[in-house]
Structure 1
């Protein structure tokens, strides 16, 4: 799946999660969701590979489960860069959002791969 499709899918996920779980994630507008999704894409391209290499021993030790924590850290960084229009209630909310985003992206990527 291409970069812009993933940005759009992530923005839709942010909006859906903000609608279903308003106590976990706050998104002020559609444009803020698109901006946060774009920032997340850029951070995933630039910072996430460095974090994955640095955390490789603990990721191997936890059989890959630490990658969920890295994804949650990336979401927290996104919220910090975007500002007050996009926020999580806590780190647990970031972890839950990271799991949901990973699952939905896997399903959508599989669907695009079949076409």
Structure 2
């Protein structure tokens, strides 16, 4: 259940990102196509982050230390760009136009996801 909630939160954050960040777009012809695209791109984003981010952190730990963590912003932008590229290869109507769109898109995604996660927790509380 937590995975499904996380997927919905990510898809919603992705939708908000497309509204706020110029260069991050979903161009579905219908509302259903747009929602399905957002869900599939959220899955792609989750897989890319789950697989590549830990590897990049291990091999790039020196850059993280030297930049006091600012390198994470570049990594997040590149992972967001990679998500857009994969979506394009799958012929999904989603695109990220360049590094700066990926940079701001990744930041907005992170902030919106965090805000929603504060309000809607992943796991129900155990009493």
Question: TM (normalized to structure 1)?
Answer: 0.85
Counterpart check, 1:102 vs 2:110: yes
Q: C-alpha deviations, 1:41-78, integer Å up to 9, x for none?
A: 11111111101111111111111111111111111111
* Contact preservation (8 Å) 2:13, 2:113: no
Q: C-alpha deviations, 1:67-98, integer Å up to 9, x for none?
A: 11111111111111111511112110111011
1:10: Cα distance to partner? 1.8
Q: Give distance in 2, aligned partners of 1:32 and 1:67.
A: 26
After TM superposition, the runs of 4+ consecutive aligned structure 1 residues lying more than 3 A away are none
Q: Which residue number corresponds to residue 111 of structure 1?
A: 119
Specify whether residues 108 and 20 from structure 1 end up closer, same or farther in structure 2 by C-alpha distance, changes over 3 A only: closer
Question: TM (normalized to structure 2)?
Answer: 0.78
Q: Which entry has the higher C-alpha Rg, 1 or 2?
A: 2
Specify whether residues 91 and 13 from structure 1 end up closer, same or farther in structure 2 by C-alpha distance, changes over 3 A only: same
Segments of structure 2 that go 5 or more residues without pairing to the other structure are 28-33
Counterpart check, 1:49 vs 2:49: no
Segments of structure 1 that go 5 or more residues without pairing to the other structure are none
Q: Which residue number corresponds to residue 5 of structure 1?
A: 5
1:109: Cα distance to partner? 2.5
Q: Give distance in 2, aligned partners of 1:3 and 1:73.
A: 24
Counterpart check, 1:67 vs 2:75: no
Question: How many residues are aligned here?
Answer: 114
Q: C-alpha deviations, 1:6-41, integer Å up to 9, x for none?
A: 2212211222232344x4211122211111100111
